[in-house]
Structure 1
Amino acid sequence: MEVSIVIPTFNEQNNIVKLLEKIGKLATKCFAIEAIIVDDNSQDKTISNISNYAINSENDFFKIKLHQRLNKSGLSSAILDGIKLCTFKFVVVMDADLSHTPEIITKMINALQNSYDLVIGSRYVDGGKIENWPLKRKIISKGATAIAKIGLNIKQKDPMSGFFALDKRIINDINFDAIGYKLLLEILVKKKGIRIKEIPISFKDRDAGKSKLGYKAIIDFIVSVWKLYRYGKKIKEPRVPVKFVSKTGRFFTVGASGLLVNILTIISVIGIGPFGHITANLIGILVSMTSNFILNKRWTFEEKDFFKRNTLKQYGKFIIFSSGGAAIQLTLYNHFREFYEIPYYGDLIIAVLIAGFGNFILNKKFTFNEKIWS
């Protein structure tokens, strides 16, 4: 049995050798492993640590290849560059920050040998779990997963996983956009008819180094989902009835994105200059209202013309009705903070969810002229 393991890195000096040590222990006479490390011009000791480890640790069954790129060009493109360098048919993709357990790799390869084409290390199937994640990360992950599943009609429970294995022949005919950091999502959308298996993993948040999740990653994700949605329409992929399920699903998907925008905006501006909790909430509400309106008009109802006077009327209605929800959010938020010992993120999330439901009902009925239960 042979496997190539692609590991993208950027400033992972504290993690990469520990990961390679764990992978090296899996290599035996019956299980040859090559680790393909694609580094995006790390500014710490990642490169030297890899080189020093390789000198003393490579053997007949465990090889290490280091590919250095001059610029930080994105995770998906790093993975694709790594796959091009793979010697073996079976390829595993995993993170360098020790969040993925190498011991699962043998189960993945066994599944590939048993006629599966793609194996996903899933946090959300039975038996899967996430350890040591802050509430903010859980919200972002669940929200992004919901957006991907509903917006792109994906059945797998963890399409956002960064830990997966595949027979590299299945991607030979895919024209990748390689935007952002979720190559698996693009494979799931663009490669139909393959056998897919999800196996449970225990995902652990990094102990050392800095998370790569930031606003750029979130923007890249939104752009990627939009491109993949347009790809699905272009090839006329069969979809469930549009009138109820699709439009309602899209509206809730936009609501989920608005929740993320709201919370991330609030978290980002709290403590900056004069911005306290109330001011941060107001800013978060305005930003999420505007993004929700634009996405609903363009995506949910597929209106392309943003220059008609009707757009201003729609936006005005949207703001007016959403302001009712904003008032509810602020009232509940202050109430929870004053009378209940709920951690900040907890009272924020409850307030946003209740207000968001009110926004949906009012705007569905009056702004976009839809029957509430249609």
Structure 2
Amino acid sequence: MNSIQKEIRSKTKSLSIVIPTYNESKNIVKILDSLRVALTRDMNAEVIVVDDNSPDGTSKTVEEYANSKNPEYPIHIVRRENKRGLSSAIVTGIEHAKGDAVVVMDSDMSHPPQTIPKMVEELQNPDCDIVVASRYVEGGSVSGWPFKRKLISKGATKIAQHGLGIKIKDPMSGFFAFKKHIVNNIKFDAIGYKVLLEILVKAKDAKVKEIPYNFIDRTTGKSKLDLAVSVAYLQSVWKLYRYGKSVKTNERRASVHFLSKAGRFYTVGASGLLVNYIVSFLFGAVLSNLWYLYATMIGIVFSMSTNFILNKVWTFEDRTFEPKKTLIQYGLFLGFSGIGAVFQLLMVYGLVELRHVNYSIALFLAVAVASVGNFLLNKKWTFQEKVWS
């Protein structure tokens, strides 16, 4: 027994490890074997596998493992009849957990069980309620991700940080631990893939610590990330934003108002970046073989329209949709966005054709740069607000 495990033995009452699964029969035995190495009976742990009726027999594999391997900790299987989503599976696991502390992790070997003792050790500190295994703090890293996946992850992180006021560097982590009592009064919406976001927003005054780990992308099985997941994520962020707004007092200082609206505007811009990138990529590489500039223009139209609606309703809190006024606003918004769009197209063309930059990188840089002037122009002219307010 190493020193960390001895310390955990002396302080930890019990630990529950929640692992949601769907078609992970090729990975689940590996993760359970790794847990056998990382955990001992002295840690007083239990493992809860929540399976959404996987067609590949994941739950049967877990049951056979529990009966034949004789692990030093109990393995409980929660079978759900239908595929109801990752977040709800995690919530189900938390509801079944008997431990004083809960660890949530994936079953695809991207989250190393060897990190768990360190996470639990951090939870012994009375000034720590949540421990997030982070890819983005010093010492953390991501291995095996293509540029597109990194881009989507960074965009989603920025949305959470600016839109929800979350301060940690990796709020999108799926590998975290917490003292169970902090979620006792939380009513989970369980939308999308990120229960951690709900806990960070709804567990009032919870103290958070990030520790580094190396994320290694799955080598077997299929990633669950798709367009539906991205839409569900934006839906969950919106609900959490509404929740946060209902419990916070209004801020009157002009500087805070300005920064708050700028944060919202660029959060919308980040969501537009996702819409722009996904639509452009679909038309340019997946659904058809359109020339990359045509695909980019289609992506621009989609993102400008969604950005207008979100900025009108959320950023500038203008919820009057009188037709004439809304059409004028939409026209101004498109006009200012059009200026940025022209710049974006020229920049994409210049980077791809003249500098031979990869299209994905060029698209990202162009969208980011073109959005810089839009906030002030739209604040001043489209939504008729003082610049510094």
Q: Which TM-score bucket, shorter chain as reference?
A: over 0.9
1:174-253 counterparts in 2 under 5 A?
Answer: 174-237=186-249, 241=253, 242-253=256-267
Q: Verify: 1:257 aligned to 2:268, yes or no.
A: no
In the other structure, the counterpart of 2:353 is: 338
Give the alignment partner of residue 269 of structure 1, picking from 275, 278, 283.
283
Distance 2:185 2:111 in 1: 28
Following TM superposition, by how much is the alpha carbon of 1:88 offset from its aligned partner in structure 2, in angstroms? 1.8
Distance 1:226 1:102 in 2: 32
Unaligned ranges ≥5, structure 2: 1-8
> Which stretch shifts more, 267-276 or 322-331?
267-276
Deviations 1:114-160 (A, max 9, x none): 22221111112221111111111111111111111111112222122
- What TM-score, normalized to structure 2? 0.91
In the other structure, the counterpart of 1:63 is: 74
Match of 1:270, SS? helix
Distance 1:238 1:365 in 2: 22
Distance 2:335 2:215 in 1: 42
Distance 2:369 2:179 in 1: 45
Match of 1:37, SS? strand
8 Å CA contact retained: 1:240, 1:246: no
Unaligned ranges ≥5, structure 1: none
Distance 2:252 2:169 in 1: 18
> Which stretch shifts more, 364-373 or 124-133?
364-373
Deviations 1:231-259 (A, max 9, x none): 11212257684421111111111111111
Q: Verify: 1:78 aligned to 2:93, yes or no.
A: no
Identity in percent: 52
Give the alignment partner of residue 95 of structure 1, picking from 80, 83, 106.
106
Distance 1:322 1:169 in 2: 47
In the other structure, the counterpart of 1:109 is: 120
Deviations 1:6-48 (A, max 9, x none): 0001111221111111001123242233210001121223223
- Runs of 4+ in structure 1 deviating by more than 6 angstroms, as ranges, are none
Following TM superposition, by how much is the alpha carbon of 1:361 offset from its aligned partner in structure 2, in angstroms? 4.3
Following TM superposition, by how much is the alpha carbon of 1:273 offset from its aligned partner in structure 2, in angstroms? 3.2
Paired residue type of 1:294:
I
Match of 1:120, SS? strand
Match of 2:107, SS? coil
In the other structure, the counterpart of 1:347 is: 362
8 Å CA contact retained: 1:121, 1:198: yes
8 Å CA contact retained: 1:293, 1:318: yes
Distance 2:324 2:379 in 1: 20
Paired residue type of 1:368:
F
In the other structure, the counterpart of 1:323 is: 338
8 Å CA contact retained: 2:135, 2:214: yes
Question: CA 1:307 to 1:70, structure 2 compared with 1: closer, same or farther past 3 Å?
Answer: farther
Paired residue type of 1:275:
L
In the other structure, the counterpart of 1:136 is: 148
Question: CA 1:240 to 1:219, structure 2 compared with 1: closer, same or farther past 3 Å?
Answer: farther
- What TM-score, normalized to structure 1? 0.94
Distance 1:336 1:196 in 2: 41
Match of 1:155, SS? coil
Coordinate RMSD, CA, aligned: 1.8
Following TM superposition, by how much is the alpha carbon of 1:70 offset from its aligned partner in structure 2, in angstroms? 0.9
Distance 1:205 1:326 in 2: 34
